[in-house]
Every structure is written in structure tokens, then in C-alpha cells.
Structure 1
């Protein structure tokens, strides 16, 4: 299985990039992991929120394949403990999912077409974080999930 994180807009802060890269290096020992960045939309000043979400959805659909299993990271999604998240990843691997794709939307969330395409909505927290911070938190949680699955001493309960 390969995990792909697709996000709108680049990460500007060096400390976030450093953290993401730290966990990407660690993840190489467990699974194939890729981050795809969709460029921010240009000239959005005259677009409504719905128009912006629709244009972002078009870009997401270009980045995912019909056979990909898609999970949107959304504050209204289900919340899982780190242990339950590791169980979810394990079930996907056992179920022979080829590409497990996680999406981080733009500032207004996702277009309804993305929600309809998604298999799950997952929340990392009820709190709101910047889209850049979520990337770091997510990559760390994927790493944590694999250390849980391997019984390694990273996660403590």
C-alpha cells in the first residue's frame, strides 16, 4: 500500500517543512508515502467560497485515480485515537488497498463532489489548525500509527 497526502498550497514555514521531512524520513522504513501539493488558486478575490471549492475540487480530481481510496481530513469527520488510526491503516493494508489518499482542502473546506467521492471523513481534532500545521500533525500520526503496529516504543498510553 502507498499513502498519498494531497494538499492545497505550499508550506512556507521552514520549521514545518523540517518537521515534515523528519517524519517522511522515518516513514521510509514502514511504507511508501508521498505528498502532492496542488498550487493555490490564483485570482480568487472575485470567486465565491463555493466557486473556489469547486475549482479546487477539479484539481483534486486530476490528482486522484478512480481506484484510490480517499479520506478527507475535515474538522467534521470522525475522531480516532492514535491506536484506532493505526488499526484503520492496518485494515486498509490487509484489505489490499493500493493507494490510500488523504486530502487537505483549501481555506473553505471541500466541495460536495469531494465529500461524495471520499470513503471517510477523518478529523485530527475539533480545533482548527492552519493547513500547513495539519500536514505536520498528519505525517507524525502516520509515523506513530506504524510504530504502534510494529510494537515500537514511540507511542505511550
Structure 2
């Protein structure tokens, strides 16, 4: 089973749309232990410095990136299980994306879709997919075939 307390999300920018915040709050209630850290939208270099300052040595970095690997929900759940007990930090960039050196530093670049989304929607989608991955590993009926 997936242990979401090992996961952290670093997101650049604040959620401004109430309906997105409501959706995020709903999934966060279902994912106790999932930590979400918002950092101020700035330059790529400043954002990289802040992100690296938040990362701990035992955390694997997963970057959300439109050019990253795409997985089905079931394959993503399996991929997350394959990290065993490693702590994972997901990073969602702002409008200008993340620096190339931060992308290169990541152990995985993940794409939620070939479509481009505002960072607020990407955050909601990521949190929902983490919840879905948890339910898949628990055998819950939330994820329908």
C-alpha cells in the first residue's frame, strides 16, 4: 500500500481559484500526511535555490514537466510503489517552468498529460492521482477499470 506521508509537493505560486482550492482540500483530507509547500513565484534560479533548500538528502525529486514520462494511473501507482520506502518530493513549476539544472537533478520527470495546464490545475491533478494511486494499491473501487 502507498504511504503518502512519504510524499511532499513543492508548488510555485498560490491557488487563487476557489473551486480548485476546494478540490485540493477534499483530496488532502483523504491523504493525511501529504505535505504541500507553496513557494513564491520568482526567477528560475531563485526557485531552484529555494527548492533545493527544502529538499532533504533522503528525498527523491520528481519534477512535473510537459516533456516528462506519462503513465496510466495503474502504472503510476506501481511506479510509486517501486520507490519502496524512499521519500519523494514532487515539484510543480510556475508559468516559466523549472530550470534545466533542476530538471536534470530529478530522478523522474513526470507528465500528467501532453496538454499544458495552469499550475493550479496541475496541482489538483497531481493530488488526485496520488489519491487514486493509494486507492489502486489498496484495492479500493475508486479507480474503475
Q: Give me the TM-score of the superposition, normalised by structure 1.
A: 0.86
- Report runs of 4+ in structure 1 exceeding 6 Å deviation: none
In the other structure, the counterpart of 2:117 is 129
Contact 1:70–1:103 at 8 Å: present in 2 too?
A: yes
Q: Deviations over 1:64-109 (max 9, x none)?
A: 11221000000000000000011011112xx220x21000012111
In the other structure, the counterpart of 1:36 is 37
Runs of 5+ consecutive residues of structure 1 not aligned to the other structure: 42-51
Max Rg structure:
1
Q: Are 1:114 and 2:102 counterparts? A: yes
- Superposed CA RMSD: 1.1
Cα distance in 2 for partners of 1:26, 1:12 equals: 22
Cα distance in 1 for partners of 2:81, 2:89 equals: 15
Equivalenced residue count is: 141
Runs of 5+ consecutive residues of structure 2 not aligned to the other structure: none
Q: Deviations over 1:1-35 (max 9, x none)?
A: 5110001111111111110010011112xxx2100
Matches within 5 A, 1:50-129: 52-92=43-83, 95-97=84-86, 99-129=87-117
Q: Secondary structure at the match of 1:146?
A: helix
Shift in Å, 1:53: 1.5
**Larger deviation, residues 105-114 vs 134-143:** 105-114
Q: Secondary structure at the match of 2:20?
A: helix
Cα distance in 1 for partners of 2:124, 2:80 equals: 18
Cα distance in 1 for partners of 2:8, 2:63 equals: 12
CA spacing shift, 1:39–1:53, aligned 2, 3 Å: same
Q: Give me the TM-score of the superposition, normalised by structure 2.
A: 0.93
